[in-house]
Amino acid sequence: MIDNDNINEQITVLGKTFTTEEERRESFRNELRQKLPELKKMEGFPIGEDEDILNLSDPPYYTACPNPWLNDFIDQWEDKKKMLEKEGKRNPRFEVDGPGVIDVQTQKNHPVYNAHNYHTKVPHQAIMRYLMYYTQPGDIILDSFAGTGMTGVAANYCESPDREEQLAIINDFRSAKNKIQEWGQRNVIQGDLSPIASFIAHNHTNKSLLRKFPEVAEKIFEEVKEKYNHLYTTNDSEGTGEIVYTIWSENLICPNCNAVFNYWEEAVPEMGKVLKEFHCPSCNTILKKSNGGNKSTKKADKFFNTAIDENTGEIIQKYSLKPVLINYLINGKRKWKRPDKEDLKIIEECENSEILKETPAFRMPNGDEARRNDKFGFMHTNDFYTKRNLIIINEFYVKINEYNGGLKNYLLKWFTSSLNRLTLFNRFAPNHSRHVGPMANTLYISGTPTEISPFNFFQQKIKDNTLDLGQIRFSLHIV
């Protein structure tokens, strides 16, 4: 069990003073517990157990339900506005003469942007330009469709911008002959219907205890790697190497003789070359994988195994995949190899592991896209990961939930930021000799999905989630 993150320091929130963040959190959670019966009467209150809502919440800044301290924050911010006016940082008669005409060009390479692979994000640098034109320090901004909180991040950076970004914004305004407003923090109320989005948004704008994040995350990482590193090692004549990723390929069935064969083994004679037509290894019939091309050529269909759904116990037909190639690192060099007997033994042992019974699994929600893979036997969330990946992902989750302190929520953000690039949605493009990640805006599983080592990704996400703490401050989030 990892020690909690209590740090002795005075913390004052809404007129109350605490010695630790954990003391603050528990005090406001107790208040929230008492308020829940009344809050539940509100239309649209989230469906969930009280304790789950309380555990996810970090009150008063973030609650996984309507935030009862919203008016208290607004009153506090209104008082601060008067102080800013006395200091000459706000104009009480501030008006915007017309729309801002600013060219907004930013790159999606900032640590905050890369910290979590959530869809539909807008870089905070772009939002800053609008805030610096339409608002003053101390203004209160409502973002009811906040997503992962980039408006809150942008508002915080208006107080302490990157020097390079600050100069870029000033130059943009000068070129457009627009008046730039005073630098300073704007206050943001953010909400979103998506629980994961609002959870990420809170963690993106909360610096509480984050100085401990790299140390704690690295410790968890090392513990998990020490226990399961052997699952992602492979041997060759030079010794033991570290698996970077494994290419899987679909099994097909010949329409002529019903022989089952592997797509990669017959259609990819060498890396960088993919045959549009290939032969059945059993009857030598010329086949193709898709409906295009020569109309007289027969199409080989996907092969399905009859299996028992581990989530429901029902008999299902499941899309059949086989590991065909391993990319690994040994002595500082990247190499390729076909899985040998030992590699296949590890995969087989993972397939039958009892640990998988402890892994949470949820039915994919209703919807054409969400359930597009039902026909392939991929109906639950755990179906979209290899068993080997699930074992390690589950261990990270267990270790994080052993943590007692308030940093736990940020550790869970690190955890969720690592998940979507570890699925079978990752594609390998043999004609380009590289994996190209998931296809955007769809839950598509290709004929050559790629299993990335969780260790590589979880470690990279420690770096991505270790943000510049000097530039991150609290903003308020409600759901």
Each residue's pLDDT tens digit, 297-308: 999 999 999 988
Lookup: tokens for 362: 């949820």
115 alpha-carbon distance from chain centroid:
8
Lowest mean pLDDT: which of 1-5, 118-122, 232-236?
1-5
| Residue 268: domain span | 215-465
Q: Identify the top-confidence range among 72-81, 154-163, 412-421.
A: 72-81
Listed as own residue / partner, the contacts of 399-405 with beta carbons closer than 8 Å and 24 or more positions apart are 399/2, 399/220, 399/223, 399/224, 400/220, 402/1, 402/2, 403/2, 403/4, 403/216, 403/220, 404/1, 404/2, 404/3, 404/4, 405/3, 405/4, 405/5, 405/6, 405/22, 405/209
Lookup: tokens for 135: 């608002």
User: For position 467, what pLDDT does the model report?
Assistant: 64
Q: What sign does the dihedral 254-257-258-260 (CA atoms) show?
A: negative
Amino acid at residue number 336:
W
Q: What is the mean pLDDT of residues 363-377?
A: 94
Are 348 and 283 part of one and the same domain?
yes
Residue 109 has pLDDT above 80, yes or no: no
Are 303 and 416 part of one and the same domain?
yes
Q: Identify the top-confidence range among 4-13, 302-311, 351-360.
A: 302-311
Q: What does the buried/exposed string (b/e) look like for 59-93 if buried means 16 or more CB atoms within 10 Å of the residue's CB? A: bbbbbbbbbbbeeebeeebeeebeebeeeebbeee
Are 74 and 95 part of one and the same domain?
yes
62 alpha-carbon distance from chain centroid:
19
DSSP 469: G
Are 185 and 44 part of one and the same domain?
yes
Average pLDDT of the chain, as a whole number:
89
pLDDT per position as a tens digit, 220-241: 999 999 999 999 999 999 999 9
In a domain, 374, yes or no: yes
d(CA 180, CA 474): 24
Beta strands in 237-279 (DSSP E): 239-253, 260-262, 277-279
Are 416 and 337 part of one and the same domain?
yes
CB 345 within 8 A of CB 387: no
DSSP 470: G
Are 45 and 175 part of one and the same domain?
yes
d(CA 130, CA 106): 13
User: For position 474, what pLDDT does the model report?
Assistant: 43
Are 281 and 382 part of one and the same domain?
yes
Are 321 and 341 part of one and the same domain?
yes
User: For position 220, what pLDDT does the model report?
Assistant: 96
Residue 194 has pLDDT above 60, yes or no: yes
pLDDT per position as a tens digit, 236-248: 999 999 999 999 9
Are 50 and 110 part of one and the same domain?
yes
User: For position 73, what pLDDT does the model report?
Assistant: 95
Task: State the residue for tokens 């080989």.
Answer: 300
Confidence of residue 472 (pLDDT cuts 50, 70, 90): very low
Between the CA atoms of 366, 369, 374 and 377, what dihedral angle is there, to the nearest 10 degrees? -130
In a domain, 1, yes or no: no
Residue 470 has pLDDT above 60, yes or no: no
Are 364 and 395 part of one and the same domain?
yes
Q: What is the mean pLDDT of residues 122-145?
A: 93
Are 181 and 228 part of one and the same domain?
no
Higher-confidence residue of 193 and 263: namely: 263
In this structure, the chain runs to a length of 479
Q: Give percent above pLDDT 90 in the chain.
A: 61
End-to-end CA distance of the chain: 32
What 3-state DSSP class applies to 435? strand
In a domain, 366, yes or no: yes
Residue 468 has pLDDT above 60, yes or no: no
If we measure between CA atoms, which residue out of 231, 285, 156 comes closest to residue 395? Answer: 231
In a domain, 4, yes or no: no
pLDDT per position as a tens digit, 96-105: 888 887 777 7
Q: What is the mean pLDDT of residues 125-153?
A: 93
Residue 208 has pLDDT above 70, yes or no: no
In a domain, 3, yes or no: no
User: For position 9, what pLDDT does the model report?
Assistant: 64
Between the CA atoms of 15, 21, 23 and 26, what dihedral angle is there, to the nearest 10 degrees? 90
Confidence of residue 184 (pLDDT cuts 50, 70, 90): very high
User: For position 479, what pLDDT does the model report?
Assistant: 41
Residues 6+ apart with CB under 8 A from 196: 118, 416
Higher-confidence residue of 74 and 9: namely: 74
In a domain, 430, yes or no: yes
CB 95 within 8 A of CB 101: no
Residues 6+ apart with CB under 8 A from 370: 364, 443
Lookup: tokens for 280: 């059945």
Beta strands in 264-391 (DSSP E): 277-279, 286-288, 298-299, 301-302, 304-308, 315-319, 321-330, 333-337
Residue 4 has pLDDT above 60, yes or no: no
CB 479 within 8 A of CB 192: yes
Confidence of residue 281 (pLDDT cuts 50, 70, 90): very high
Confidence of residue 5 (pLDDT cuts 50, 70, 90): low
If we measure between CA atoms, which residue out of 242, 397, 270 comes closest to residue 327? Answer: 242
In a domain, 272, yes or no: yes
Are 305 and 186 part of one and the same domain?
no
Count: domains in the chain: 2
**Residue 257's CB: how many other CB atoms inside 10 A?**
11
Q: Supply the Cα-derived Rg of the chain in whole angstroms.
A: 26
In a domain, 117, yes or no: yes
Between the alpha carbon of residue 313 and those of residues 316, 354, 373, the distances in Å are: 9, 16, 18
Between the alpha carbon of residue 7 and those of residues 18, 136, 217, the distances in Å are: 11, 34, 17
CB 96 within 8 A of CB 133: yes
